[in-house]
Amino acid sequence: MTEGYLGRESVVVGEELTVHVSTDAARFRLRFYRLGEDVELLAESGPYPGSRHPAPPHPDGVPGRVSPAHDWDWPPLTLPVPEHWTPGMHLVQFVEDGEDPPLLDAASIEGPAREFFVVRPRRAGSRSRVLYKKSTYTRHAYNRSDRPGEERAVSLYDHPVYLPDGDPRGHKVSLHRPGGIIDLAYWDAPFIAWLERNGYPVEFCTDLDLHEDPELLSSYDLLLSVGHDEYWSEAMRGQAERFVRDGGNIAFLSANTCWWRIHPTDRNTAFVSDTDHHVGDEYPHLPATDQWWPERPNGVGRPENSLTGVSFRNGGMWASAEGWPGDRPREGYTVQHADHWVFAGTGLRDGSDGGEPDRLGAGTTLIGYECDGAAYARDEHGVARATGEDGTPDSFLILGIHVLDPVHEDFHDFKWGHWNGPAREAGITSPRAATMGVYTAGGTVFSAGTTDWPVVCGHEQDAGVVRVTRNLLDRLRHRSAGD
């Protein structure tokens, strides 16, 4: 078995990429691909001499488990990134010499013995004013480092490492571990292909890029958050908020967004987050002081919905006995304010003419598997309006809503076939509801309120979702756009 990981998941064209590889084979090769409308093979390099390297043991002595918190410290191999490579999302596949597995395509991106990385242009914003942020911190939080024949099952959730006396205190996970490709194949790949197929050029960055570079967003007019985007650092959030204040636009085509704060450590090759995850047999571990919304000292005291407009605490997660992502109710969003520019050209109705309102995405799994919402109340016409009592901006306009049903209120004891809701403020009495909406505060912020928006759009499962996405990109990719 050959597997590896990246020294860093982004590189500027013309600079060097470092991979770290462990293999049972005497030699191995590397295949490089670009992910766009198609999966394009760019190059194959090697063979290189191979050697097998162990993973560090679990620091708590958990039998049969390795450490998710330590750098696995496999030997580096550094290669130049050719100047002629087109910036974008790229893949590296680890191949044992003497083997010739089929080339990767759109149907086979997911799997072990491969990793993704971002290639960025030398000058930010030179190819597009739209920046697609790959949610790499969330990927690493869930990365179990499993491989064929061995379920290592170590992550921020599985057999985690907790540092009670650390500075910062919390659960720790290293970015320097193998894990293969899972989330990229589900959320990102179909949406990236759709973007390129429909003539929307974008540039890419990772969470670490945004964390480290306070000037990164100044080269762009629109930031895209896609899929599952749960873990954010203080610097990431501060730079996104400043970007909006300065007139930049954000489209959160994601959910469970900005739920936990993280603290990069070990020269930004690992991070720590004080979450409610297991500490030994204790679960939930409370207080989880890196949760954004609770007041200090039980949390950060900065509700995520003051940026996004919506929060996971007003939504929930569908738990399926069939495993992730699972089938779930397919009712879609009840449309409100159908005359808004977001709905232009969709033909959707909101019921203001006396008929029944249409449902955006009905018949698809648009809502979930995780979804975010805003506290709301209905006016005399039955229209849901954000109350702002949870920190959602006053100007947030609810464009679509789906009341979750059935709901289970104990998030730490899942109930299959239910929307499992996390704790929220006791005073919020509105039903849990996936919520799509928009507000303007300098720039414009759109929130889809669901993780699977890019899946439905990318596979073109619903014409209304596709048209809304076009409207968002056409309008918000120019910084001067307003609500």
Q: What are phi and psi of 198, to 5 degrees?
A: -105, 15
CA gap 56, 69 in Å, rounded: 9
CB 33 within 8 A of CB 42: yes
**Is there a contact between 116 and 90 (Cβ–Cβ < 8 Å)?**
yes
The predicted model gives 327-347 an average pLDDT of 97
In order of 7, 18, 83, 200, 397, the CA distances from 269 in angstroms are 8, 13, 26, 32, 39
Dump pLDDT digits (tens) for 456-477. Answer: 999 999 999 999 999 999 999 9
374-419: per-residue pLDDT in tens?
999 999 999 999 999 999 999 999 999 999 999 999 999 999 999 9
CA distance 314 to 304: 12
Render pLDDT for 289-320 as a digit per residue (tens, 0 to 9).
999 999 999 999 999 999 999 999 999 999 99
Exposed/middle/buried for 376, CB within 10 Å: 0-12, 13-18, 19+? buried
pLDDT-derived band of residue 93, with 50, 70 and 90 as boundaries? very high
For 142-172, how does the pLDDT look when each residue is reduced to its tens digit (9 = 90+)? 999 999 999 999 999 999 999 999 899 999 9
What is the distance between the terminal CA atoms of the chain, rounded to a whole angstrom? 53
Q: What is the pTM of this model?
A: 0.97
Alpha-carbon distance of 217 to 236, in angstroms, equals: 10
**What pLDDT shows up at residue 81?**
98
Q: For 273, what's the count of Cα atoms within 13 Å in the CB-facing half-sphere?
A: 30
DSSP code for 70: S
pLDDT at residue number 432: 98
Parallel/antiparallel/unpaired status of strands 370-373 and 311-319: antiparallel
The reported pLDDT for the residue numbered 481 is 46
Beta-carbon contacts of 253 under 8 Å, excluding residues fewer than 6 positions away, are: 191, 224, 225, 226, 227, 448, 453, 454, 457, 469
| Tens of pLDDT, residues 228-247 | 999 999 999 999 999 999 99
- Using CB atoms within 10 A of its CB, is residue 122 exposed (0-12), middle (13-18) or buried (19+)? exposed
Mean pLDDT for 75-85 is: 97
Which pLDDT band, with edges at 50, 70 and 90, does 347 fall under?
very high
483 pLDDT band (50/70/90 cuts)? very low
Assign 482 a pLDDT band (cuts: 50, 70, 90): very low
Band of residue 323 on the pLDDT scale cut at 50, 70, 90: confident
pLDDT for the residue 480: 74
Q: What is the three-class DSSP state of 449?
A: coil
For residue 48, is pLDDT > 50? yes
How confident is the model at residue 41, as a pLDDT? 98
